[in-house]
Amino acid sequence: MQPVSTYGAILTQINTMNSTSQLSQKLSTELSTNSQGTDLADNANRSQVISLTSSKDQINSYVSSCNLGSITTSLYSNSLSNILSIAQNALKTVQSMQGSYTGQASPVPSAQTTQTQADAYSAFQTLGNSVGQMMSETTIALNEQSPTGAYLYAGLRNPTSNPPKTAAGTNAYNLPPVADLTKLPYFASSDGTLPGATAPSPSNPTTVASYTPAAGSPDPSYSTTQTANPGAMDPVTTSPNLPLYDTDYNTDAPVGNYAKASTLAWGTQKVTIDQGQTQNLNITSNNPAFQNLVNGLRAAKTAADQAGNYSTADRDSFLSQSYSALSKAVLGLEGLQQTNGINQLAFQSSSQTHSNTLTLVTTQLDTDVAVNTTTVTAQLASVNNQLQSSYKVTSELLNMSLLSYLK
């Protein structure tokens, strides 16, 4: 039987082997992963690693916002160019009609007495068809969707799988944001009527005595009935009032604690692109530039389609109003392009700055967690030698006989 002192020596060697074995495993893991420690607690720089990791996560969130902003502003850039082209073409067409037919009568065919009158009437019919096409193109452009399905110009009215309901049981927020512009009513003549018209038609509206919302509780931000100004276009509205062409113009207030459609229609999303720095992201379909464009097209359509019914003075007046509104629309759209370009530059600039910072943070993190392979290899060799020595000593102790021990 071995003395107690021998057991003590053996236990000491066993404890040494356990701790040495754990250290060997730790060093082997560091060598294979090139990372300090088997977990963060083993890292001597863990406080700085935690701080840098937090900063890296925050910067990544800014980069995501910048990427979203860059994609959205790129979509706006292409869309605005298209809409501006429509406005410029409409302006040129109306200007040409003003130069060619101002003061020239264009009565309906049954009342025409000269070829000049017939030519004028035919030219206005052609104008009507052309403007109708422009209105269709504008409707499509203002209802453009992003790759995610959201409408570019809907403001904060985003699609949802469970939209709130109105008291009438319909969805509170209508999408897309813009109604079919070709179905908007004509503007009223100077005497407030449209000759020969008795009722509006969805495909060819002919009267604008009043605009009455559907049954229910209309948004109090505009009156229940809006009477058109005889001989004039609709005024440009401001927040929270909605223009006639907005699909939520007649939407009831939602049941429950929901924002009104009119508020959401004008709302713009802000994204955080850096600490304490936010950037507007949306352009809404109710922007004055778009309202002027729609007014200009409607006035041109009114002058064209009602050329044989309105007086020559009324027809020329709407051509003049159309030219004025379209001129404002062109300037407004150019302003939107400039603003969008500034936003796009801000997103790109911030994204580049954050990318550079990420590189620095990542490099620092790599430095704080990386191991020196030469040092770790030497340490591992030393630990393994120590472990082998412990095995040898323990083996010798276990094989000692009582006689050899006493000697």
In a domain, 369, yes or no: no
Residue 34 lies inside a defined structural domain of this protein: no
Q: How many domains does the chain have?
A: 1
Q: What is the pLDDT of residue 138?
A: 98
How big is the CA angle at 236 (ends 315 and 296), to the nearest 5 degrees?
Answer: 35
Decide if 264 is inside a domain. yes
Please give the C-alpha separations between residue 344 and each of 280, 324, 330, 338, in angstroms, as whole numbers.
10, 30, 21, 10
Could you tell me if residue 291 is inside a domain?
A: yes
pTM for this model (two decimals): 0.70
Cα separation, 390 vs 19, in Å, equals 11
Q: Is residue 147 a part of any domain in this protein? A: yes
pLDDT recorded at residue 218: 36
* Inside any domain, residue 275: yes
What does the pLDDT read at residue 147?
82
**pLDDT given for residue 226 in this prediction:** 41
Q: List C-alpha distances in Å: 349 to 65, 71, 243, 295, 356.
A: 12, 14, 36, 37, 11
Q: Decide if 249 contacts 213 (C-beta within 8 A).
A: yes
* Rounded Cα gap, residues 33 and 28, in angstroms: 9
Element (H, E) at 274: strand 270-274
Which residue from 351, 151, 389 is spatially nearest to 247, judged by alpha carbons?
Answer: 151
Q: Is residue 332 part of a domain?
A: yes
Residue-range definition of the domain harbouring residue 161? 98-339
Enumerate the β-bridge partners of residue 254.
166
Query: Each residue of 315-324: pLDDT tens digit?
Result: 999 999 999 9
Q: Please report, for residues 87, 243, 300, 384, the alpha-carbon distance to residue 137 in angstroms, rounded to integers and kept in the order given.
A: 11, 19, 15, 78
What is the rounded CA–CA span in Å between residue 101 and residue 275? 59
CA nearest 70: which of 328, 341, 379?
341
Indicate whether 13 belongs to any domain. Answer: no
Length in residues, the chain: 407
Let me know if 225 is exposed, middle or buried by CB neighbors in 10 A (0-12, 13-18, 19+). Answer: exposed
CB 269 within 8 A of CB 76: no
One pLDDT digit (tens) per residue for the chain, 407 residues: 445 566 566 666 666 666 666 656 665 665 555 555 545 455 555 444 444 445 556 666 666 666 777 778 889 999 999 999 999 999 999 999 999 999 999 999 999 999 999 999 999 999 999 999 999 999 999 999 988 888 999 999 876 777 788 888 888 888 899 999 998 888 888 887 664 443 333 333 333 334 443 333 333 333 334 445 788 999 999 998 999 999 988 888 888 888 888 889 998 887 765 666 667 788 999 999 999 999 999 999 999 999 988 999 999 999 999 999 999 999 999 999 999 888 877 776 665 565 555 555 455 444 544 555 565 565 656 656 666 666 666 666 666 544 455 55
Q: What angle do CA 130, 131, 133 make, to 5 degrees?
A: 70
Query: To 5 degrees, how large is the angle CA 175–CA 178–CA 182?
Result: 135
| Residue 130: predicted pLDDT | 97
